[in-house]
Structures are given as C-alpha cells and as structure tokens.
Chains A and B, each alone.
Chain A
C-alpha cells in the first residue's frame, strides 16, 4: 500500500491557478500556472487537465508543457479547437485567478535528456511546436551543445507560435537552426522560408542526415505526423529514433 500511496501522491489531481494568460496567435494562448506541490517535469512531457461542470459533467484533455524544466512557473500553450469541450474555455474564458484540476507530468517516451549530445531534429506542425519549444528552451538554458534543427510548418505567419522567441533563437544560438514553412499564406515579399507543405526535399535540406544519427521528434496533427514520419523513414532515419506525438484530427 505504501507504493500505491506514493504513486497516488505523484499522479494525484492538483489545483492549478492561472497567474497569467498570454496570447501567442489569434487562436492560441499560453497559460502561466501556479501548481502547489508540482514535482517538476522533463522537456516533452504533458499534463492532463480536468474540467468539471456545475452538473458534475467532467471533461479531460492532455496538453503539452511549453516551459523548460528550469523555469519555476509551469506554462501550457493551448490551441483553440473549434467545437472543443476544453480548449475554448481555456483560451477564451479563463482568466488569471481561475482554477482547474491538473495532473502530471505524464509521459516518458516523448522526452529529451538535456545531458545528451546526440543531434536533434525537431519537426512540428502548428501547435505541435509546444513540446518541442520546451526542448528548445531547455537546450538554451542548460547551454546544450547538441546540434539542433527545427522545422516548423504553420498555416500562416501569424499562426507561428513564439515567433519572436524563435527569431531571437535563430540569431543567438549557434547550435540551433530554425526553418519555417507556410502552407496557406502567400508569404511576405521578404520571406526567406518555404511556402509549401513538408516534403522529402525540405526534410533533406533541413538535415542532419540519417548518418548523423539524430534523435528525431515529430509533433502535430495526426495527418502531418503520419506524412512527416513516413518521409523521414523513407529518407533513411532509423524508425526507432523517430519519436512521434500525434494530436489527433
């Protein structure tokens, strides 16, 4: 019973209080949370959130953690899903001071070890950037030397999460390269990124190639991850090195 008690304490539902709500795009917000007793997390992990309606109806969803483990406050970036049960509340109605139930961190598969020097290839579709941002933020905070390439696919420029931070990262961090592709927009005239869906030539241009044996993380909507992960294996990356997180439809 002791171990059960210990486990329950670790994965118990806790009360999270919103301390700040920051817009990241027209439909995504970062919630900064105060979670008493939070045990800390690893980059790439997520939390389960539970909302309870007045009539007792409960709804649970998982959200990736955006903040680095080294940052004291827990931050989640939530993309509004039209007709969703949880994300419209969290992105449109929730205000600082509001509370909800949260448990975690959970997941040990889609995580990065900051002590590793293995090269990193991060491929994100839309809000699939969130857990990869936790990795990039930790990478910078610990001064990791692991060569890191990020490829982000977004519909439009204003859909790009953490845009200023990514631009700063691109200018500042030697070990990190940032590549963007826009799939819906006609890009601005000075646009230096791509303007098409992720394809084989793009992934080969981003690199590092399979010979560098990078650890690969792919996150985004299920069709995006299916396509990107399939292409990566086709190019020759070891399927076991390709870690995927699909958000669903």
Chain B
C-alpha cells in the first residue's frame, strides 16, 4: 500500500545530499506543483514516486548494492547544499 515521499526522506537525502521533501516538483504531465514529501510512494525492489494529482511517474529509484539508480521526471526545485 502506498505511503508518502516523506517516508523516504532519508534515502532522498542520501541521493541529493540535502533534505528535499519540503521542496517542490512540477509535474511534466499535469503541470501541478507539489511538495516532494506529498508525492505518493510505492515500494518494491526500489521506490517509485508518483504525482499526487495525476499519478504520473515523478521518480524511479532502484537500489543496487551500495548504490542507487535514479531517474527523475518533471521539474524538481531543489536547493543546492549550503
């Protein structure tokens, strides 16, 4: 059952090196801007984030030993690390 992007805040912080769940993403499909933490999270072998409005894919994160393979969709507004 799905959770929220907030649930993988730790994984996202590993990937981006900063906390991003309070930042936003604008969807490539519906154009709506939502907090990354508010996206829908589906977990399996890795993670899939989906737009909370239209459900199109926002990110796929595959976990491989010692690494992540990440594909992002839409416009992610992420502040660079301070």
> A: which residues have CB within 8 A of B?
3-4, 6-7, 11, 46, 48, 62, 103-104, 106-111, 222-223, 243-249
Closest to B80 in A: A3
How distant is A222 from chain B, measured CB to nearest CB, in Å?
5
Contacts of A104 in B (CB 8 A): 10
**In contact, B35 and A247 (Cβ under 8 angstroms):** no
Residue B4 at the A interface, CB < 8 A? yes
CA distance A7 to B10 in the complex (A): 12
**In contact, A106 and B3 (Cβ under 8 angstroms):** no
CA distance A111 to B2 in the complex (A): 20
A-B contact count (CB 8 A): 70
Residue B81 at the A interface, CB < 8 A? yes
**In contact, B10 and A245 (Cβ under 8 angstroms):** no
Closest to B21 in A: A109
CA distance A48 to B37 in the complex (A): 16
Task: Tell me the count of chain B residues lying within 8 A, CB to CB, of chain A.
Answer: 23
> B: which residues have CB within 8 A of A?
1-7, 9-10, 13-14, 17-22, 35-38, 81-82
CA distance A243 to B52 in the complex (A): 12
CA distance A245 to B39 in the complex (A): 10
Contacts of B38 in A (CB 8 A): 109, 243-244
CA distance A246 to B38 in the complex (A): 10
Chosen A-B contacts, 21 in total, with CB atoms closer than 8 Å, are A3-B81, A3-B82, A4-B17, A7-B13, A46-B9, A62-B7, A62-B10, A106-B9, A107-B9, A107-B21, A108-B37, A109-B5, A109-B21, A109-B22, A109-B36, A222-B2, A222-B3, A223-B1, A243-B37, A247-B3, A249-B1
